[in-house]
Amino acid sequence: MRFSAEDAAWRELSSQYAGRWSIWRSDVGRWYATRLTRSLSRAEMDKGLVMTASGESAEELRGLLSAQERLGSQMISS
């Protein structure tokens, strides 16, 4: 069985962010991720955290998720 590049990218992202984000690709090809953890507070969202992120490509989404995780870690350590 052969997998497309999109399938491989989805598998990689899903594995990298397992348990933290649910990753999917829309019918029109846009990539999305929704947090699997608790809901964010208004204060967290005001500081830039999002419940759902989206990007034009798997790489763009990966960058957004990495930035979200860095921001979340900074907020915890502050």
Residue 37 in 3-state DSSP? coil
Q: Does 20 score more than 70 pLDDT? A: yes
78 pLDDT tier (thresholds 50, 70, 90):
low
Average pLDDT of the residues in 18-41: 96
Determine which helix (DSSP H) or strand (DSSP E) holds 69, and give its type and residue range.
helix 58-77
Query: What value does the mean pLDDT take over residues 20-30?
Result: 96
Length of the chain: 78
**Using an 8 Å Cβ cutoff, are 51 and 67 in contact?**
no
Tell me the whole-structure pTM to 2 decimals. Answer: 0.89
- Please tell me the predicted confidence (pLDDT) of residue 2: 64
